[in-house]
Structure 1
Amino acid sequence: MNNTLIEIVYDDREHAETLLEQLSLRTDLCLVRKRLKLGDYQINNWLIERKTLPDLVISLCDGRLFSQVARLSACDHNTALLIEGSSRDIASYDITREALIGALCSISIKFNMPILRSLSQAESAKILYFVAKQLHSRETELKLNGRKPKRKKNRQLFILQSLPQVGPKLAKRLLSHFDNIEAIFTAPAAELRKVEGIGQEKAQKIRDVLTS
């Protein structure tokens, strides 16, 4: 295989025929079909979750959206959310524009996850191509300049600081005590109270946010 080709891995369960066909026409790309544990596309150290606008609304309404986003944010890769479709696609859905905007703000601010928008599979293909080209150029620059990408621990600490009354110092103590984000998110209140700076009231507030 030509070493100059930019690799895009896509999940073997992804149903986006037009998108994949458009990407396959790019002579500087190499598409790899693979089972991904998280995300729908992997480009270098980035995972990209693709959701149609109806899928996004359904997962928001049934409570799955933020748990999915939390798992993505806690993984070792950088992550982004690609939302595909227009407002016409959800005209018949029982959801307000304010609720949708609030969810997108939470994803981008609380979870530090970039949100990419497209109107169709063809446009999504263009976005993935542009992302692949830019990441390829950045990786080449990083290698030349000897710089390292942001560490995983910093991303984990950022996520923890979105919890009630959790600042930078407490986030570090939580991560030191539990070792990983998943253990913190699933810990009962009694276990949270073992961390210095977390009393009964604060532990309950954290549990309420994670389970509500």
Structure 2
Amino acid sequence: MQTPVISLFYDDREHAESIIVQLSKHDDLSLIKKRLTLGDYQINEWLIERKTLPDLVLSLCDGRLFSQIARLAESDFNVALLIEGKSQDIIEYKIHREALIGALCAISIHFHIPVIRSQSQTETAKLLYYCAKQLNHHTSDLKLTGRKPKRQKNRQLFILQSLPQVGPKLAKRLLCHFLTVEAVMTASENELIQVEGIGKKKAKKIRKILTASYY
């Protein structure tokens, strides 16, 4: 059986030729150069933003980092942040380690964006390939895993937390507002934005996932 080819899009402004050269060695990858509005790489429904450690530090110091992260988090895609480089790369930058750790924690916890670490472009290419393989497998064999709660209220909250950008607190507010899971699932965008924590973009994402065709 022939191995399926995975499409990996990369932004035409991404200056990392070594990464593309390494990725081009894989016969099961189809590299497609295009202008990406957000992110540097796109695999299925995922965007991967690549930042070198110096770029991360500079964007944190000049205030660009969290505005960029916010735009990524508000997109219709799932997003991951790939940070490339070694601590020696920023040894001359005047920034405390605690500031970097705090920023990465905020990105992971508040914006729900996973952070991937790489030491070089060669390692980045390997990580992107592994991500492509994992995401392709995940798409073709999607299963809901994890321990499922037994109490009815907890099961209802569990279901609602599968919606885009809906965590435990927001799931509870939705259930308190609409009273039933069915009412949440059938609510319009205008009805959803009446709930604290749901704006127009989030409401649109929720309705999109609920109404999209499987095929």
Same fold (TM over 0.5): yes
Letter in 2 for 1:155: P
Note if 1:173 corresponds to 2:182.
no
Alignment of 1:68 with 2:77, yes or no, is no
RMSD (CA atoms): 3.0
Structure 1: give runs of 5+ residues left out of the alignment. Answer: 162-166, 182-212
What residue identity is the alignment partner of 1:173?
A: V
In the alignment, the residues of structure 1 paired with residue 163 and residue 118 of structure 2 have an alpha-carbon distance, to the nearest angstrom, of: 29
Residues 108 and 175 (structure 1 numbering): CA distance in 2 closer, same or farther, change over 3 Å? closer
| Identical aligned residues as a percent | 54
| Structure 1 residues 108 and 168: alpha-carbon distance in aligned structure 2, compared to 1, 3 A threshold | farther
Letter in 2 for 1:24: S
Cα displacement (A) at 1:124: 0.1
Asked if the contact 2:53–2:84 (Cα under 8 Å) also holds between the matched residues in 1, the reply is: yes
Q: 1:91 & 1:21 partners in 2: Cα distance?
A: 29
Structure 1 pair 73–172 and aligned structure 2 pair: CA distance change class (3 A)? farther
Structure 1 position 156, deviation (Å)? 3.7
Match of 1:196 in 2: none
Contact preservation (8 Å) 2:173, 2:196: no
Q: Relative to 1, partners in 2 of residues 1:124 and 1:152: Cα closer, same or farther, differing over 3 Å?
A: farther
Structure 2 residue aligned with 1:124: 124
- In structure 2, relative to structure 1, the CA distance for the partners of 1:152 and 1:3 (3 Å cut) is farther
Q: How does 1:132-147 map to 2 (within 5 A)?
A: 132-142=132-142
Where 1:83 maps in the other structure, the secondary structure is strand
| Number of equivalent positions | 171
Q: Would you say the 8 A contact 1:6–1:136 is kept in 2?
A: yes
How far the C-alpha of 1:154 sits from its partner, in A, is 3.5
TM-score, scaled to structure 2:
0.71
Shift of 1:4: 1.6
Shift of 1:157: 4.1
Structure 2 Cα separation of the partners of residues 29 and 71 of structure 1: 28
- 2:3 touches 2:28 (CA, 8 Å); kept in 1? no
**1:24-72: CA deviations, max 9, x gaps?**
0111100000000000000000000000000000000011101111111
Deviation at 1:180, TM superposition (A): 2.1
Amino acid at match of 1:180: K
**Match of 1:92, SS?**
coil
Report the Cα distance in structure 2 between the residues aligned to 1:172 and 1:130, rounded to whole angstroms.
Answer: 41
Does the Cα contact within 8 Å between 1:76 and 1:152 map onto a contact in 2? Answer: no
Q: Per-residue CA shift, 1:96-116, capped at 9, x if unaligned?
A: 000000000000011111000
Map 1:76-155 → 2, pairs under 5 A: 76-142=76-142, 154-155=163-164
